[in-house]
Structure 1
Amino acid sequence: MKINLHIIAPYEAMLPIIKECTPLFPEMKICVSVAELQAGVDIALSNECNTDIFISRGTTAKLIKEAIKKPVIDMNITGYDMMRSLLSASNLSNKSALISFPDITSFALPTIDLMEIPISVFTIDHIDEIAPLVVDLKNHGYQQIIGDTITVKTSEEYGLRGFLIHASKITIMKALEQAKELYNYINRVNIPSKIFETLVQNKHKNIVLLDDRNHIVYEHFTTIQFTDDLKRQLFILNTDIDLNRVKASKKYVADDYLMEINGFYLPDFSFKLFIFNKHDHLLKQEGLKVHTEDLYKPLIADSDQMRFTLKQIRTLYQKNEPIVLIGEKGTGKDFISTYIHSQFEDGLLLTIDFDKFEINQLKEIPLKGVRTVKLRNLSYVKRNHHKLPIFINMCVELKIHVFILLEEQNDPFSMKFSNKVKIPSLKERKEDIPAFVHYFLSTYHEKYGTIAVKMRDESLSLLIETTYPNNLDDLKLIIKEVALNENHLVIEHESVEKVLSEEKLNLKTLSFKGSLKDIEKEIIELVLKEENFNQSKTAERLGINRATLWRKLRE
């Protein structure tokens, strides 16, 4: 295997010497470019992937070292090069100065003193110092400046003679020998790491490693492409990982597949490892949903009732037992199950909605990477009920957690499972209402720019004593209307009373009192509210046209 070497020469005169040296190193594939400073850096960056070692000189070599991860060898000036260049320069001008960095000037001073060469020496630490120094020397009568390519170029721009310190064949040969020794050493040292790298690649097909400065130091992709979008998602997840949170995950949907990224902080090295998994076909079936959104909502549990309920759920979840969550509409069954999953698992959360999903397709669901399954709308399952317990048992065997969401305590499906947890209604957890009110106010302030940020205690008391047939759905709607119509930072009590008065007809369950027409109107009003007063959706759900709906509402 040949060594891929790239020499970035700072000046054209070096090319014939490099060409003369190349045949002496048949084990090397040597590529040569001529560039200096940032131009040299750009060449190195564009060729980093297919190069083992770079060789350059002076300031250009220094800049390349800072920009890339591959080894860079600096063609250091030899004593012979220095003496030859200084003696030649001293013959061309009466007043000369050498301007360079400490590694050159510290080497040149003994030679100048020993040979009694009439050349002044000036040390710089940054290239920005060259131009002011050249101008100052010109004002003091200097005629010639000795140095590397940037020093010579700057001197000539200000009307002084520039004299370049040339690298000899010995210098280039020495650099090539160094490159050969360095490659052999790196190759020998890297054998154990290559073995472990192969093992990792066999287990994880797509990985990225970031260093302590969040630069990508290693990447390997086999089954997916490391696109700009994927890189952006990686760096978003990267912000969630540190010493206090050593593990985090992120999922997002791209085209017809789902991408999962798991990140790990490696404290012993201050590096971060990211593993990518692509899940195909999971979203192609109607009624299936993989949850990829980040969960930023808080779980409010100030009441003893809710804290006890959560403790039950957590205990059953950790034991990987199927959990039946029973609760009225709007009690938060869906959110609670998602929240519990996010607390304990980094894998996928899959919801199966039997309103759209056919139970006969259960066995066809790809469960790779799934860690929690939610089953919703079981009332739509009219036959083949026996397939549900079979599927749930299979999930348990695969270490997949299962939530079954039901609204009624006496639902036929609830009888098939023993781990039933009742989610309390809002009237059973009134202590939580103030926290929900303040959270909803903050949400609408952020989303809609509403003014109100606080509610008076007397208003809170009124909301606490209000009945909410649809629980949190009703409370959320009321707070939204109050916030949108309030012009003060603190909500006026009259504003709350007004909204509650307007919503009074909607905040009720079916009474089944009065005539058939009265009950029918109650049903229409409840469905209309559930569809957020969208008359088209309400008519479609009730199986009537909009004109009939409008007429019945007017009666």
Structure 2
Amino acid sequence: MKSRVHVIAPYATMLPVVKECSALFPELIVNTSVGSLEDGVNIAIKEECNTDIFISRGTTARLIKEAVKKPVIDMHISGYDLMRSLSLASNITTKTALIGMRSITHVAKAIIDLMDIPIAIYTVEHLEEIPTLVLELKNKGFKQIIGDVIITHISETYGLKGFLIQSCKETILQALERAKQANEYKNNIDVPSKIFEQIVQKKYKNIVVLNKENHIIYEHISKLNFTGEIKDHLYILNTDMNELKPRASKLIVVDNDLIEIKGYFVSEFGYKLFILKKYDQLINQSGLTVQTHPLHIPVIKESTSIQHVYKQVELLFKHREPILLIGQQGTGKDFISTYIHEKHEEGLLVTINFKLFNIDQLKIFPLQHVRTIKFQHCEAIGEQQKEVLSSFVQQCLEKNIHIFVLCEESQQVDSFEWLKCNKIQLPTLSERKEDIVPLIHYFLSQFHEKYGTTPVKIKNKSLSLLEETNYPLNIDDLHAIMKQIVLNEKDYIIQHETVENILKQRNQTLKPISFKGTLKEIEKEIIELVLKEENFNQSKTAERLGINRATLWRKLKNEVH
């Protein structure tokens, strides 16, 4: 009789490898799902009746063992898994640490010593040590943390880059082999008292209880969607509570709703109780977004030109002066403003797009909890509406709220004089050549994590070629090129031929403007270039060129005739 095996993968890119390996085990009926931590537990509970053996990894596997009465096999991280991940992580020239249990770190140390990789190692014995350790590493200047799902989740919640250790084919094969031989069930976790449950549900609409090991043992949510993002914030708040500090609270924004989390330490039982409350329609308007996810992108600023920009922005931000960031598409205006906010403020970051936002709403705009506001497309504001924005900006400055204005078109700069902002021009990628190689290494690692792509290295010859390439869309264009390269490369090392082929395919788009010929001919070349970049969308092309669609249509018609 075939055994029913359910593989609960901690990340999606593991599924194709599981499917490939499953074909080698005809005696197993293998089903798959994606879910890490509590999401994985929920899948296991739902599928327990239809499953003989569960397979998962790391902390998720341990949590599932506590929640079900079926055998659970842990796909242990192998030395080869560590070697691949450490090699990829070392491509990014940023301060990096690996956190793990002793079974992981002692193998990682041998690999790091052998390969001479500049990565620090930290061993933890219990899960509750992780948040404190991550915070200490952040204060020491670390930017990237390597580890399993819970470690990368905690790292990213604290604003660091989490680098997940992925499992290779051999590791999954070993787990399936163990699944054939599994013959025992394990029992664990107790169900909370029904009496306690009835009392809680009558008094509270949204409540979560953690036990002494900081595992969720009870939740009753009826007035909001208990997402992974809310859980992450709950776990952070959990680290702030103990017998000496039995209460803590936190405000977060999810889907434009303000959610308050209040935590209570129940010393008699060693449990922690959390009450969640949603405040409806904090900021729920067209053209308005609230930053809810911390940046996980490394700050790459090897070039002196971008270093000068960061220094200027940071100085003005600290003095709470309004800042006008000017730069071409893809030069990093949105990233820099978000990064500076996250570095210096803990309140809300709000972005207002005046192409969609009704400016009259500024008169009743709720500024409570807001610390930074970004304005986009101020050129869409009419003359009669400028007074409304000026008054709002003054109100924000009086409340010590930071102001950013983002501008793409250089010809629009003069129209912003009335805002009285400090102007900072962002360099193009061609003006910050020193940053291209670090960006390439970051994109290489990013695509491997996101898509499970094969290559982990790129040759110096290819790096030089990419350094000399013209990028009309700056960082965005380099990102698109690297995506095509890694998706088309089948080897572990990116071959030079692959880079050449991708660049050749994009040659027309990447061809620089010659500036030869008459003004009309140069204008034609610019229009054709922007049309191609916008996939021949005339509305977007007209917007990029700062003209209306009728003018663009007339110019295109004249070219035809």
Bin the TM-score by the shorter chain: 0.5 to 0.7
Query: What are the within-5 Å matches in structure 2 for residues 103-142 of structure 1?
Result: none
Query: What are the within-5 Å matches in structure 2 for residues 94-493 of structure 1?
Result: 212-214=212-214, 227=223, 229-230=225-226, 233-240=229-236, 250-253=252-255, 257-260=256-259, 278-383=278-383, 384-407=385-408, 408=410, 410-414=413-417, 416-493=419-496
The answer to whether the 8 A contact 1:259-1:276 is kept is no
Distance (whole Å) between structure 1 residues aligned to residue 386 and residue 501 of structure 2? 48
What SS is found at the alignment partner of 2:351? strand
Distance (whole Å) between structure 1 residues aligned to residue 393 and residue 273 of structure 2? 34
Change (3 A) 1:485 1:394: same
Change (3 A) 1:387 1:341: same
Change (3 A) 1:489 1:336: same
Change (3 A) 1:232 1:357: closer
Deviations 1:92-115 (Å, cap 9, x if unpaired)? xxxxxxxxxxxxxxxxxxxxxxxx
The answer to whether the 8 A contact 1:527-1:538 is kept is no
Question: What amino acid maps onto 1:252 in structure 2?
Answer: V
Distance (whole Å) between structure 2 residues aligned to residue 303 and residue 247 of structure 1? 41
**Shift of residue 493, structure 1, vs aligned partner:** 2.0
Distance (whole Å) between structure 1 residues aligned to residue 377 and residue 556 of structure 2? 30
Distance (whole Å) between structure 2 residues aligned to residue 244 and residue 430 of structure 1? 44
Distance (whole Å) between structure 2 residues aligned to residue 430 and residue 247 of structure 1? 45
The answer to whether the 8 A contact 1:352-1:373 is kept is yes
The answer to whether 1:525 aligns with 2:521 is no
Counting matched residue pairs gives: 357
The answer to whether 1:496 aligns with 2:495 is no
The answer to whether the 8 A contact 2:223-2:278 is kept is no
**Shift of residue 335, structure 1, vs aligned partner:** 1.4
Distance (whole Å) between structure 2 residues aligned to residue 251 and residue 344 of structure 1? 18
Unaligned runs of 5+ in 2: 1-189, 242-247
Q: Which residue of 1 aligns with 2:125?
A: none
**Shift of residue 297, structure 1, vs aligned partner:** 2.0
**Shift of residue 338, structure 1, vs aligned partner:** 1.5
The answer to whether the 8 A contact 1:264-1:274 is kept is yes
**Shift of residue 539, structure 1, vs aligned partner:** 8.2
* Aligned with residue 194 of structure 2, among 46, 55, 61: 46
Distance (whole Å) between structure 2 residues aligned to residue 296 and residue 404 of structure 1? 23
Distance (whole Å) between structure 1 residues aligned to residue 457 and residue 264 of structure 2? 40
Q: Which residue of 1 aligns with 2:138?
A: none
TM-score, with normalisation over the residues of structure 1?
0.53
Aligned alpha-carbon RMSD (Å)? 4.6
Change (3 A) 1:277 1:509: farther
What SS is found at the alignment partner of 2:331? coil
Distance (whole Å) between structure 1 residues aligned to residue 506 and residue 416 of structure 2? 34
**Shift of residue 332, structure 1, vs aligned partner:** 0.6
Change (3 A) 1:550 1:228: same
The answer to whether the 8 A contact 2:329-2:474 is kept is yes
Q: Which residue of 1 aligns with 2:91?
A: none
Question: What amino acid maps onto 1:45 in structure 2?
Answer: S
Distance (whole Å) between structure 1 residues aligned to residue 458 and residue 302 of structure 2? 18
More deviation, 269-278/373-382:
269-278
**Shift of residue 273, structure 1, vs aligned partner:** 8.2
Question: What amino acid maps onto 1:350 in structure 2?
Answer: V
**Shift of residue 404, structure 1, vs aligned partner:** 1.0
Distance (whole Å) between structure 2 residues aligned to residue 528 and residue 332 of structure 1? 22
Question: What amino acid maps onto 2:397 in structure 1?
Answer: V
**Shift of residue 374, structure 1, vs aligned partner:** 0.4
More deviation, 368-377/478-487:
478-487
Distance (whole Å) between structure 2 residues aligned to residue 508 and residue 476 of structure 1? 17
The answer to whether the 8 A contact 1:287-1:354 is kept is yes
**Shift of residue 436, structure 1, vs aligned partner:** 0.8
Distance (whole Å) between structure 2 residues aligned to residue 486 and residue 271 of structure 1? 51
TM-score, with normalisation over the residues of structure 2?
0.52
Distance (whole Å) between structure 1 residues aligned to residue 198 and residue 451 of structure 2? 52
Distance (whole Å) between structure 1 residues aligned to residue 497 and residue 558 of structure 2? 32
The answer to whether the 8 A contact 2:371-2:401 is kept is yes
**Shift of residue 370, structure 1, vs aligned partner:** 1.9
Question: What amino acid maps onto 2:434 in structure 1?
Answer: E
Change (3 A) 1:411 1:443: farther
Change (3 A) 1:329 1:382: same
Distance (whole Å) between structure 2 residues aligned to residue 552 and residue 479 of structure 1? 37
Distance (whole Å) between structure 1 residues aligned to residue 341 and residue 274 of structure 2? 21
The answer to whether the 8 A contact 1:349-1:372 is kept is yes
The answer to whether the 8 A contact 1:452-1:486 is kept is yes
Identity of aligned residues (%): 41
**Shift of residue 551, structure 1, vs aligned partner:** 10
The answer to whether the 8 A contact 2:470-2:512 is kept is no
The answer to whether the 8 A contact 2:290-2:349 is kept is yes
What SS is found at the alignment partner of 2:296? coil
The answer to whether the 8 A contact 2:264-2:272 is kept is yes
Question: What amino acid maps onto 1:251 in structure 2?
Answer: V
What SS is found at the alignment partner of 2:320? coil
Q: Which residue of 1 aligns with 2:23?
A: none
**Shift of residue 282, structure 1, vs aligned partner:** 4.7
Change (3 A) 1:346 1:278: farther
Deviations 1:379-418 (Å, cap 9, x if unpaired)? 2223132332221111122232211112328432156425
**Shift of residue 515, structure 1, vs aligned partner:** 6.6
The answer to whether the 8 A contact 2:251-2:258 is kept is no
Question: What amino acid maps onto 1:258 in structure 2?
Answer: D
What SS is found at the alignment partner of 2:386? coil
Distance (whole Å) between structure 2 residues aligned to residue 539 and residue 375 of structure 1? 22
**Shift of residue 312, structure 1, vs aligned partner:** 2.7
What SS is found at the alignment partner of 1:48? helix
What SS is found at the alignment partner of 1:461? helix
Change (3 A) 1:309 1:328: same
**Shift of residue 333, structure 1, vs aligned partner:** 0.5
Change (3 A) 1:411 1:549: closer
Distance (whole Å) between structure 2 residues aligned to residue 554 and residue 447 of structure 1? 44
**Shift of residue 322, structure 1, vs aligned partner:** 1.7
Bigger radius of gyration:
1
What SS is found at the alignment partner of 2:297? coil
Distance (whole Å) between structure 2 residues aligned to residue 414 and residue 508 of structure 1? 35
Distance (whole Å) between structure 2 residues aligned to residue 362 and residue 529 of structure 1? 37
More deviation, 368-377/510-519:
510-519
Question: What amino acid maps onto 2:194 in structure 1?
Answer: S
Unaligned runs of 5+ in 1: 1-40, 52-67, 69-200
Question: What amino acid maps onto 2:400 in structure 1?
Answer: K
Change (3 A) 1:308 1:263: farther
